[in-house]
Amino acid sequence: MKTMKIKITLTEEMLGTASANPEIHEEFIASKAPDAQTREEEVAALGVEAVVEKGKTVFPKLDDGTPFMWDYQIKGFMKDACGMLARVPGSKSKALKAYKKIIDGLIFPQPRKIPIHLAGEMGECQRPLRAMTLQGERVALANSETVPAGSWMTFDIVMMDDALEPVIREWLDYLPLRGLGQWRNSGKGRATWESLTD
């Protein structure tokens, strides 16, 4: 078993991913997180302010108001990165079979709540969402809470198999291209990383 301590620094703003509506969060989002400790824990982390803006996605907050990411969101990034990098000839990810099971069972970001140290004020990002339906094109406005570029977080990655370190580093090297959180395809949540254990 090996532990890497890493620091991630955002180069682009990152969007909140939790629904501010605690009922939607409890019924849908939390149910999609099989490794969540309890639904109540996640719903409670959204806070009172979040209930006011039910249509907005937000960051869960610690008791002192510090935004954080859940450990399983880092695992989600790893699954996304591995799935994409497995398509690249010669990548370390290409050789990893049953990668989702490996990430779920052998790789553990810690702590459970990873604080985001802000490099300025939190903001908002509004963007149109378009969908083609049987009734024609529909447009809605999405609104998300944001943390600014320059914000950072440190956490540990515990791996049960030391041989996983090179592939984890490959995924982290993908952060400047893909990013974390919502709208990462548009460049939101891009980041750099550094090892604090090397």
Cβ(80)–Cβ(103) under 8 Å? no
Q: Are residues 111 and 45 in the same domain?
A: no
Q: Are residues 81 and 6 in the same domain?
A: yes
What is the pTM assigned to this prediction?
0.78
Q: Are residues 186 and 89 in the same domain?
A: yes
Q: Are residues 45 and 83 in the same domain?
A: no
Q: Are residues 32 and 74 in the same domain?
A: no
Q: CA 41 to CA 45: how far, in whole Å?
A: 6
For residue 85, CA distances in Å to 75, 81, 172 come to 15, 6, 11
Q: CA 110 to CA 97: how far, in whole Å?
A: 24
Q: Are residues 95 and 141 in the same domain?
A: yes
Domain hosting 113: range is 2-17+59-195
Residue 166 tokens, joined? 């090179």
* pLDDT tens digits along 74-109: 999 999 999 999 999 999 999 999 999 999 999 999
How many folded domains does the chain comprise? 2
Q: Are residues 12 and 26 in the same domain?
A: no
* pLDDT tens digits along 20-54: 655 554 554 455 555 545 545 555 555 444 433 45
* DSSP sequence for 23-66: HHIIIIIGGG-TT-S-HHHHHHHT-HHHHH-TTEEE--B-TTS-
